[in-house]
Amino acid sequence: MAGPDVDPFAGYRPDPFFCELTTQRPGDAGAPALIRGRIGMIGLDALRARAAAAENDLINLGITFTVYSQASAIDRILPFDCIPRILTAGEWRTLEAGVKQRVAALNLFLHDIYHDRKIVRDGAVPAELIFGNANYRPEMEGFPVRFGTYVHICGIDIVRDQKGRFCVLEDNARTPSGVSYVIENRHLMLRAFPDLMAGMRLKPVDDYGRRLREAMTEIAPEGVDDPQVVLLSPGIYNSAYFEHVFLSREMGVPLVEGADLTVENDRVYMRTTAGLRAVHTIYRRIGDDFLDPTVFRPDSMLGVPGLIAAWRRGNVTLANAVGTGVADDKAVYAYMPRIIRYYLAEDPILPNVETHICREADALAYTLENLDKLVVKPVGESGGYGITIGPRASAAELEVARASLLADPANWISQPVVSLSVAPTLTELGIRPRHLDLRPFAVTGRDTWVLPGGLSRVALKEGSLVVNSSQGGGSKDTWVLAEE
Amino acid sequence: MSRNMPLLARYAEGLFWMARYMERVENIARLVDVTQTFESPGHEAESWYALIRINADETFFSEARMQPDPEAVKHFYLLNRDNATSVPASIEAARTNARALRPLISTEMWMHLNVFHRDLMTIGEEDLQGDRLSRLCARIKEGVQTHTGITDGTFFRDQGWFFYQLGRLIERADQTTRLLDIRYHLLVPASSEERRVTELTQWGGVLRAAAGYHAFRRVAPVAFSAEDVVGFLLTDTAFPRSVLLCVEQLDWHLTQLRSRYGLRGTVPALERIEEVRSALLGQPVSRLIAGGLHEFLDAVQRDLNLLAQDIGTAFFRDWRPLAKPAPGSAPPDGTVAAARSPDLDPATSSVQTQVSARVG
């Protein structure tokens, strides 16, 4: 057993990866060294006991997501690692600017493809990539949205490579989740580790609900003075239900289910004890397909019949807008640097992970030559389906990938394997390096605001690059140091 | 600040049911406790089976092929999750409602209910043995009382709070009639002196279970009669669990919903309350007992059930008649006969696992 006199970081070897705590960075204000010292003072045993108590709090508070198997529903917590991830004020300035730029480009892109389609006519993005995309919604063509904002809530997955450079891994422009954990993790740190946090000057995370409510009010149909905002959730059996509860409380608006809403004369109402009350903005946490059984999936029990008609008449606003899924598609992702340059005439502040678009001859040739070093991904699929990781694939698997690439190059992209950065994480063996990513959240009504920090997801298994909660991922409190 | 925030019909319904289920959990513990107290040597089975009768659970109990012995009855109410009138089923239903209400109720209410639920799910056979049973009942009562206290101290008092109170008060009034009815089902010895003492003991037990024994002693004549006890439990408005106090409070809460929040649908419910009040006050207790206490209590339970229906049809989203009465069995006045949640499809609504109408 390690006593307080043994440095808990004694066995910590982050090399060859970039470490979010121990790698020297300018402008860290001495915070990483201070945290390291304080963890040493607490000692490994006390750290473990307090972390366990903190996780128990999460269960009691019901800060959980639900995992369904055949007959049972189990409430699980997102495992919480008590060693914070620190971002300097300078790093955050870059991230914030990069996220805003990306959101601006996504919205301009969506507006364009549902209106004039200039980017297609100019040949910057292939037409079939957009119009052949399952997430392209013809219902959106020519439809105006306030302030040109389609993606009101955006989560952008960012990783850091071996050199400490931030790169975007994925855009989430549909119904990104996880923001509740950003705020709950901070509350948890304040309750369970006040001594780690004492005197730290951090950017606060408590403003999210107000900003979100403000944006939802801004985007309400014109002419409505005091719009009724609601959050539309699939209900208590949804795995992200806690987050829906959290957001409705933080915004101070009702959490409704589809059956709480009804449409009459193309207007949306909620059923209250005093009868029907008009609804003006719906922050929906259900996918496009389930919104309205009369337009999309007829078997959807979650949606509201007539909702799309009411929305097309301009009587209600949906956030995010319908049809944003075409912008966060893997194939479109590959074009994002070009999309940013096309609309904003700026270089991307946050680069993509280097991506080879195999529909282009050079990229295809490069990919085929370096198949054993690259990750090859099909563009149409989601959820990791069809991916070949070159360095871990057998010769036979590489041959299958080669054949697929040659058969239909346009369906493939390739990327180098990114050596994700690591952060010290409390494990059974002691404090060890574990890979992590970052998902900042941007809220856009008239303007874009980015919640300082974001969700740091950490792969708790040694060597693993998979940070998803469904596959053993956890999370950390993300500290953004205040400006000097 | 606007005090006139709309309340989702589903929330009103969820609050009503959450409160009912929590109140029911407490009262099951009270009933089990008092039954244990009444258990007389040689007649244990009868004592315990009275519990089945006052809850109108005979059919379900026999369908479940359970023997009417004390262990089976205790198991039925404290451990059997398939029994909709059991502690585990009620706390489960309360938590499901609370979960849907998380956007509205206080974090402290949710956290306590969540932890209490988990605690009750760990009750096992061993907790039902010997002196542990009484301690278990105390633990359950205390858990609900903690819930009540947290609610009182933290739940914002707008519309939703009133619906919460309506559910709680209807359940409490209903349960007091059942507690009173338990006495009706008990055996009494034939000889007059023995009978007098036994009755005294039994009434004392009922009062204790209702947490009214000492107050009753203060206000009642030294040589009290059955009439005094019945009158106390039914109509003493200083006694927190009396039916009349619950009815008066129901009246007040409904009137508030009408005047503060302009809910006009309260009229049928207010009229129904008038009926219950005149039934309770319309005749002296002696005549009421002479006319058949059991039948009278049945009628009150039926009225309370109709009151819940009046509220439900006026304000709740998914309210529907509780169950289809079997052909020919519907009483002429349209009363819904003993309905149980297994008759309902629990998947149709996130909120309802209703077990309200259990008219004996």
Check: complex ipTM more than 0.95: no
Report helix, strand or coil for A121: helix
Give the per-residue pLDDT at B66: 75
> How far apart are alpha carbons B189 and B198 in whole angstroms?
8
Q: Give me the pLDDT at residue A436, please.
A: 96
φ/ψ (deg, to 5) at A454: 130, -175
Contact map slice: B 189-248 vs A, CB within 8 A: none
B110 near A CB under 8 A = yes
**What's at A227, amino acid-wise?**
P
**CA distance linking residue B240 with residue A108, whole number of Å:** 65
Residue B336 pLDDT more than 80?
no
Q: Is residue B238 part of a domain?
A: yes
Distance CA A334, CA A303 (A): 32
Q: Residue A175 in contact with residue A322, Cβ under 8 Å?
A: no
Tens digits of residue pLDDT in A430-473: 999 999 999 999 999 999 999 999 999 999 989 888 787 777 78
pLDDT of residue A484: 74
Answer whether residue B253 is part of any domain.
yes
Minimal CA separation from A138 to chain B, in Å? 34
- The answer to whether A380 and A325 are in contact (CB under 8 A) is no
Does residue B338 surpass a pLDDT of 60? no
Q: How close is the nearest chain A Cα to the Cα of B237, in Å?
A: 30
pLDDT band at B3 (very low <50, low <70, confident <90, very high): low
d(CA A232, CA A217): 15
pLDDT band at B244 (very low <50, low <70, confident <90, very high): very high
| Residue of chain B whose Cα is closest to the Cα of A235 | B100
Alpha carbons A148 and A287: distance in angstroms, whole number: 21
A96 at interface of B, judged by CB pairs closer than 8 A: no
Tens of pLDDT along A213-245? 999 999 999 999 899 999 999 999 888 999 999
Contact A75, A59 (CB under 8 A): yes
Least-confidence region, from A61-70, A90-99, B250-259, B279-288:
A61-70
Q: Considering only CA atoms, which of A367, A410, A421 is closest in space to residue A390?
A: A367
The shortest CB-CB distance from B315 to any of A60, A241, A273 is to A273
Q: Do residue A249 and residue B317 have CB atoms under 8 angstroms apart? A: no
pLDDT at B51: 84
DSSP per position, B29-84: HHHHHHHHHH--TT-HHHHHHHHHHHTT-HHHHHHTT--SSHHHHHHHHHT-TT-T
Q: Which of B96, B107, B262 sits opposite A274 (nearest CB)?
A: B262
Instruction: Judge whether residue A310 has pLDDT over 90.
Output: yes
* pLDDT value at B349 more than 50: no
Cβ contacts of B352 on chain A, cutoff 8 Å: none
Q: Do A260 and B107 touch (CB under 8 A)?
A: no
Confidence band (pLDDT; 50, 70, 90) for B334?
A: very low
- Of A102-106, A160-164, A297-301, B320-324, the one with minimum mean pLDDT is B320-324
> Which residues 325-354 of B are in CB contact (within 8 Å) with A?
350
Contact A60 B115 (CB under 8 A): yes
3-state secondary structure A157-169: EEEECCCCCEEEE
**Of residues B9, B99, B103, nearest to A272 (C-beta):** B9
Cis peptide bond N-terminal to A79, omega within 30: no
The number of domains in chain B is 1
Q: Look-up: residue for tokens 């262990």?
A: B71
B 8-37 → A contacts, CB under 8 A: 8-12
Find the mean pLDDT for residues A390-418.
Answer: 91
Chain A residues 268-307 with a CB less than 8 Å from chain B: 270-274, 277
pTM exceeds 0.80 for this model? yes
Q: Does A73 touch chain B (CB under 8 A)?
A: no
Q: Looking at chain A from residue 206 to 265, which residues have their Cβ under 8 Å from any Cβ of chain B?
A: 228, 235-237, 241-242, 245, 248-249, 254-257, 259-260
Tell me if chain A has a CB within 8 Å of the CB of B49: no
Q: What span, in angstroms and rounded, lies between the C-alpha atoms of A314 and A222? A: 9
Residue of A nearest to B159 (CA): A273
> What is the residue-wise DSSP string for B139-197?
HHHHHHHHHHHHHHHHS--SHHHHHHHHHHHHHHHHHHHHHHHHHHTS---SSHHHHHH
Q: Do B96 and A236 touch (CB under 8 A)?
A: yes
Going across the sheet that includes A229-232, the strands are: A255-256, A229-232, A281-284, A317-319
Mean pLDDT of chain B: 84
What is the tens place of the pLDDT at every residue in B131-147?
899 999 999 999 999 99
Spell out which residues of chain B touch residue A277, defining contact as CB-CB under 8 Å.
6
What is the rounded end-to-end Cα distance, in angstroms, of chain B? 48
- Interface touch B6/A248, C-beta < 8 Å: no
Best to test chain A binding among B10, B97, B258 (most A CBs inside 10 Å):
B10
B31 occurs within a structural domain: yes
What's the confidence (pLDDT) of residue A330? Answer: 80
Q: Give the best residue of A272, A273, A277, A304 to mutate against chain B (max B CB count within 10 A).
A: A273
In this prediction, residue B344 has a pLDDT band, given cuts at 50, 70 and 90, of very low
CB-based contacts of B320, cutoff 8 Å, min separation 6:
none
Residue B77 and residue B80: Cα distance in Å, rounded?
6
Quick check: is B175 in a domain?
yes
Partner residue opposite A277 with nearest CB, options B6, B102, B163: B6
In chain B, residues with a C-beta closer than 8 Å to the C-beta of A271 are: 8-10, 317
Q: Answer whether B317 sits within 8 Å of A259, measured CB to CB.
A: yes
Closest-CA distance of chain A to residue B316, Å? 7
Q: In this predicted structure, what is the pLDDT of residue A384? A: 57
Residue A158 main-chain phi, psi, to 5 deg:
-125, 140
Residue B59, domain extent: 9-323+340-348
- pLDDT score of B199: 81
A46: Cα separation from own chain's centroid: 33
Determine, for residues A237 and B350 on separate chains, whether the beta-carbon distance falls below 8 Å.
Answer: yes
In chain A, the domains with their CATH numbers are 31-92+176-206+420-480 (no CATH), 356-416 (3.30.1490.270)
Check residue B60 and give its pLDDT: 83
Q: Closest approach of chain B CAs to the CA of A58, in angstroms?
A: 10
- Interchain contact B101–A (C-beta under 8 A): no
CB contact under 8 A, A236 and B100: yes
